[in-house]
Structure 1
Amino acid sequence: MVSQGKLIVITGPSGVGKGTLVRQLLQRHHELRLSVSITTRSPRPGEVEGKDYYFVDRKRFEQMVQNGELLEWAEFAGNYYGTPLLPVKQRIEAGESILLEIELVGARQIRERFPQAQQVFIRPPSMLELERRLRSRGQDSEEAIARRLKRSIEEINAANEFDFQLVNDDLDDAIKQLENVLFAVV
């Protein structure tokens, strides 16, 4: 009999470096699998359908919500994001450890549906640094940056809801801390 895998939730404000940390983890730990989210936003340059996201229109996404096909979902910055339920469930039952890189609303839904999930909150070193990172990406309008910064305050205030918190100030240190949390590395 195959031992059950685990669900690992990584969240934090937009621009905090969740994606970079997750990519590093996946490169270093081939036993981890990333759950590919579904979104209604347009692909960013270089994003690949089925690898970075599944891109769907709002009508299809809303059908998936109604049909109970999503483990979690949220609307963020004017777009829907969600995690398909069936592939995650099948992979965990097959003994795989699945990483979810999601927003606060989705993380709260996961806590309700999968209370055994390991939940990690990534904090920015400061709000000034978070703003600098958002601006340096060069992909959001001033309005979108302002919206993301306002939302980040609510998210940071919820950090204590999570099993673990770490500050992404130095990438190497943050990866080591994350590995300690996930794998009990000493």
Structure 2
Amino acid sequence: MSSDAKTASRRGLLIILSSPSGAGKSTLTRRLRAWDDSLDFSVSATTRTPRAGEVDGEDYHFMTEADFRTAVAESEMLEHAHVFGNFYGSPKAPVARAIEAGRDVIFDIDWQGAQQIQNSDLSQHTLSIFILPPSITELRRRLESRGQDAPEVIAKRMQKSWDEISHWGEYDYVLVNDDLDQTEARLISIVRAARLKRIQQPRLSDHIRRLQGEFEETQ
């Protein structure tokens, strides 16, 4: 585990990682969690039927459509979307509890979800990072090397990837993943620095008051 142990002396971060498919976001997420195994991963809610082996509360929070709509109406979702006939979203309550307890939570979401979270009441604790590929040629090569998709599917993925890339300017940090190890190191540096932001340190006010008391005693 990282030496940056979680303590109640700081608030947690809501870490958003976004990228086009094939840019390395999933690998970087795994590496970030290996660097600090206390990092939580946001468990999404969904209205789709559980698949074989999926566990409620671990893979997803499975909800009825009525309950999901109610949660959205009552602002209990940080972000949500309707995808292929089902709703998906990120419940706010567990994330808010984690932040207050000093635990960071990672979100692997697209630009639309990121935008919703950045407009939420937890936005001040949000750290958003976009991962870019070194080139479009390399992005296509990575998608083709998977050997899973037909050419027309890859073409659709490339178009969707470009749509994602067009929103790069809406993120706090943008990293070009031209070298995985170097990108990982930069990502860790960003997280380290964000943990030290003034808003993340709730005890600073108490310390300032102590300093003020000491100063007044010397006058």
TM-score normalised by length of structure 2: 0.69
Matches within 5 A, 1:98-177: 98-113=105-120, 114-116=122-124, 117-140=126-149, 142-177=151-186
Question: Which of the two has greater strand per residue?
Answer: 1
Partners in 2 of 1:97 and 1:17 — Cα distance?
21
Q: Shift in Å at residue 159 of structure 1?
A: 0.7
Larger radius of gyration: 2
Partners in 1 of 2:143 and 2:55 — Cα distance?
22
Q: Which residue matches 2:101? A: 94
Partners in 2 of 1:47 and 1:128 — Cα distance?
36
Q: Which residue matches 1:15? A: 22
Partners in 2 of 1:93 and 1:100 — Cα distance?
17
Contact 1:16 / 1:124 at 8 angstroms: preserved in 2?
yes
Quick check: 150-159 or 95-104, which moved more?
A: 150-159
Quick check: 43-52 or 93-102, which moved more?
A: 43-52
Contact 1:38 / 1:84 at 8 angstroms: preserved in 2?
yes
Q: Secondary structure at the match of 2:11?
A: coil
Contact 1:13 / 1:152 at 8 angstroms: preserved in 2?
yes
Q: Which residue matches 1:69? A: 76
Partners in 2 of 1:25 and 1:126 — Cα distance?
23
Post-superposition Cα deviations, 1:119-167, rounded to whole Å, max 9, x if no partner, equal 1011111122222223333455555433332122122121111110001
Q: Shift in Å at residue 10 of structure 1?
A: 0.8
Partners in 2 of 1:15 and 1:136 — Cα distance?
10
What stretches of structure 1 of length at least 5 have no aligned partner?
A: none
The equivalent position to 1:29 in structure 2, one of 17, 30, 36, is 36
Q: What is the RMSD computed on CA atoms of the aligned residues? A: 3.2
From the superposition, tell whether residues 79 and 154 of structure 1 become closer, same or farther in structure 2 (CA, over 3 Å): farther
Paired residue type of 1:133: R
What stretches of structure 2 of length at least 5 have no aligned partner?
A: 1-6, 195-219
Paired residue type of 2:192: F
Q: Shift in Å at residue 173 of structure 1?
A: 1.1
Q: Which residue matches 2:206? A: none
Q: Shift in Å at residue 29 of structure 1?
A: 1.0
% identical equivalent positions: 45
Q: Secondary structure at the match of 2:119?
A: helix
Contact 1:77 / 1:147 at 8 angstroms: preserved in 2?
no
From the superposition, tell whether residues 107 and 36 of structure 1 become closer, same or farther in structure 2 (CA, over 3 Å): same
TM-score normalised by length of structure 1: 0.80
Partners in 1 of 2:96 and 2:42 — Cα distance?
11
Paired residue type of 1:118: L
Partners in 2 of 1:43 and 1:177 — Cα distance?
37
Contact 1:121 / 1:162 at 8 angstroms: preserved in 2?
yes
Partners in 2 of 1:170 and 1:45 — Cα distance?
37
